[in-house]
Chains A and B, each alone.
Chain A
Amino acid sequence: MSDTILEVRNLKKYFKTSRGMLHAVDDISFTLERGKTLGIVGESGCGKSTTGRCILRLIEPTSGEVIFDGEDVLQLSGHSLRERRADMQIIFQDPFSSLNPRKTVMQTIAEGVEMRGKYRTKAEIEGRVLELMETVGLAERLINSYPHELDGGRRQRIGVARALAVEPKLIICDEPVSALDVSIQAQILNLLKELQRKLGLTYIFITHDLAVVNHISDEIMVMYLGQTVEKAPSEELFKNPTHPYTKALLSAIPIPKVGGPKRERILLKGEVSSPIEPGDVCRFAKRCSYACEACQKGCPALKETAPGHLVSCHLFGSPGK
């Protein structure tokens, strides 16, 4: 039995702008198994954060289905939505703006603890907050500290504790380590991995850092201008990148090694084009060195080139092949 916790079907989010519809998320579908991590990578403006927020309905999607534990989150409203939401939490990038500057560590974490109704008295709530602080590695003497008194790593730990406080099943991590220094980044990544092992959490890990996503994810989805261009198990994706964009992306990562075999670098032409009214063409075609006529004639669909490896490119898995 496959233990699917989340299924996203044809998720779309369009924003109205003065120059037309902005296709921030355009027809994204994926399924996620319990206890696994899906990495979503892409450059700024590719819709990865919007996807995450649509799943939580922090942004209302235009259309699509988000089936969480067998229930379509997009059909819920009012009280039942708020209850369901607590099963899915989010950890943010900026450890400054993600914490209310006027709340102490205790107050911030207690907000989540109160939600479940399991802990009622002040003493019970405090006890639970201290437990959570220990789980994420915050010393108990920090309980009355304000965010500005703490460094980025500790602030991010508070964010993690707040998310854990409602005992969620799925956590969306939106660039949780991008604003941190490397040594602190490693501390947080290790913490997230350990929590997953201990609590059986499922993650959606959104980032632009490919080394990080490779380290933490079981499966990776590469997005470009609101669409999935490639999705595969991490190892497969890094060993065998298929889409021209993925290839360029992987070759562009600066690798902190000296003297090894020289990698071939694929430099892309130009920059990301506008997501406003992109039309029915391959959105990467303008920067792609393999672009052909077919790319102007229609948006390529996702096709399976190897087990679990999906690519959307006219060069691969064309119907005739």
Chain B
Amino acid sequence: MEPNQKTVSVAKKYRKRSAFGEIWHRLRKNKGAMIGGILLLILFAVALTIDFWLDQELVIGQNLRARLKAPSAAHWFGTDEMGRDLFWRVLYGSRYSLAIGFVAVFVSFIVGVPLGAVAGYFGGAVETVIMRITDIFSAVPAILMAVVVVSVLGSSTINLMIAVGVSSIPGFVRVTRAAVLTVRNEEYVEAAKALGKSNLYIIFVHVLPNCLSPIIVQTTLRVASAIVSASSLSFLGLGIKPPAPEWGALLTAGRNYILGYSYLTFFPGLAIMITVLAFNLLGDGLRDAMDPKLKR
């Protein structure tokens, strides 16, 4: 056992940090990623705790005397057509929108990425079947698909998330498959096969980690479109019911007043934009931090 103990110290001697430590170290040096991360942290903190400290009345209580007031010290974002304070509504809306964006994308990621990886890696009949089904799914308009899902499962926040998630599965399948196709014929994949590794091991250890870039980009972009499609569903009355201040619903409501009271669309839009930006910044940062080639 003596020599082994010595060798452990040898391997450690040349390593400054653990694998995760290394990623964290590089992520920390990326300003954009840190800003994105902090923004997301704040948003999530607000979304998770807002029920405990914000009076519901402020969010849904109507005050017809204070209708359509422009932003001021009393009402930072102004008030809407029912006289509700837009700032509190936007803040409270994070509770719905973040959950929808996050869960919907999570659903499509969990289903889409493995399907795409399997299709790309194995090829042949497996690929044909998966890709044709994907084609069928993407031939149906996303909104129609979501309508179907919601009407089958019933209208609830969870079902809305699933509906939006299902409609973005094809995107993940396609992107993953395309990325896997470029990697699966690399010689290190062949080398792993020659060593006797199983296909599952090869897909998860050798193939997918080298396909991260396009998948991460796809993920961050999808968060935005998930929030927006959830709002269209709400608009159709299939999602979150008014007066719950989901961001997409706020946008839709504000649209009627866009000429005279543009702040009604501006602030919910800004909230969506900031969230998406934060996801993008963090996603790009993660992608770079996980790529050993970009190590300085």
User: A residues bordering B, Cβ < 8 Å?
Assistant: 53, 56, 58, 82-83, 85-86, 88-90, 92-94, 97-102, 104, 106, 111-112, 115, 121-124, 126-127, 130, 140-144, 146, 148, 159, 162-163, 165-166
A86: B residues at CB distance < 8 A: 194-196
On whether the beta carbons of B198 and A82 are closer than 8 Å, the reply is yes
- From A88, A123, A146, contact of B5 by CB (8 A): A123
On whether the beta carbons of B209 and A102 are closer than 8 Å, the reply is yes
User: B residues bordering A, Cβ < 8 Å?
Assistant: 1, 3-5, 7-8, 10-11, 14-15, 186-188, 190-198, 206, 209-210, 290-293, 295
On whether the beta carbons of B188 and A98 are closer than 8 Å, the reply is yes
CA distance A124 to B3 in the complex (A): 9
The smallest C-beta distance from B19 to any residue of chain A, in angstroms, reads 9
Number of A-B contacts (CB under 8 A): 98
On whether the beta carbons of A143 and B14 are closer than 8 Å, the reply is yes
The smallest C-beta distance from B185 to any residue of chain A, in angstroms, reads 9
On whether the beta carbons of B10 and A130 are closer than 8 Å, the reply is yes
Q: Could you name 25 residue pairs across A and B whose Cβ atoms are closer than 8 Å? A: A56-B194, A83-B196, A85-B195, A86-B196, A90-B190, A90-B194, A92-B187, A93-B187, A97-B188, A98-B186, A99-B188, A101-B292, A102-B290, A102-B292, A122-B8, A123-B4, A123-B5, A127-B7, A130-B7, A142-B14, A143-B11, A146-B293, A148-B292, A159-B191, A165-B195
Residue of A nearest to B16 (CB): A144
Looking at chain B's contact residues, the main secondary structure is: helix
Residue of A nearest to B209 (CB): A102
The smallest C-beta distance from B139 to any residue of chain A, in angstroms, reads 28
Q: A86-B196, A102-B292, A141-B14 are in contact. Are A162 and B8 (CB under 8 A)?
A: no
Q: A97-B186, A99-B188 are in contact. Are A166 and B292 (CB under 8 A)?
A: no
On whether the beta carbons of B193 and A58 are closer than 8 Å, the reply is yes
Most chain A CB within 10 A, of B4, B190, B196, B197, is at B196
A142: B residues at CB distance < 8 A: 14
**CB-CB nearest 4 A-B residue pairs:** A82-B196, A98-B187, A123-B4, A146-B292
The smallest C-beta distance from A100 to any residue of chain B, in angstroms, reads 4
CA distance A99 to B187 in the complex (A): 7
- From A100, A127, A162, contact of B206 by CB (8 A): A100
On whether the beta carbons of B4 and A126 are closer than 8 Å, the reply is yes
The smallest C-beta distance from B100 to any residue of chain A, in angstroms, reads 33
CA distance A101 to B210 in the complex (A): 8
Residue of B nearest to A59 (CB): B190
Residue of B nearest to A168 (CB): B194
CA distance A93 to B293 in the complex (A): 21
CA distance A162 to B196 in the complex (A): 12
A159: B residues at CB distance < 8 A: 191
Residue of B nearest to A106 (CB): B11
CA distance A165 to B196 in the complex (A): 12
B194: A residues at CB distance < 8 A: 56, 58, 85-86, 88-90
On whether the beta carbons of A100 and B188 are closer than 8 Å, the reply is yes
A85: B residues at CB distance < 8 A: 193-196
CA distance A31 to B198 in the complex (A): 30
The smallest C-beta distance from B285 to any residue of chain A, in angstroms, reads 17
Q: A58-B193, A86-B195, A123-B5 are in contact. Are A102 and B291 (CB under 8 A)?
A: yes
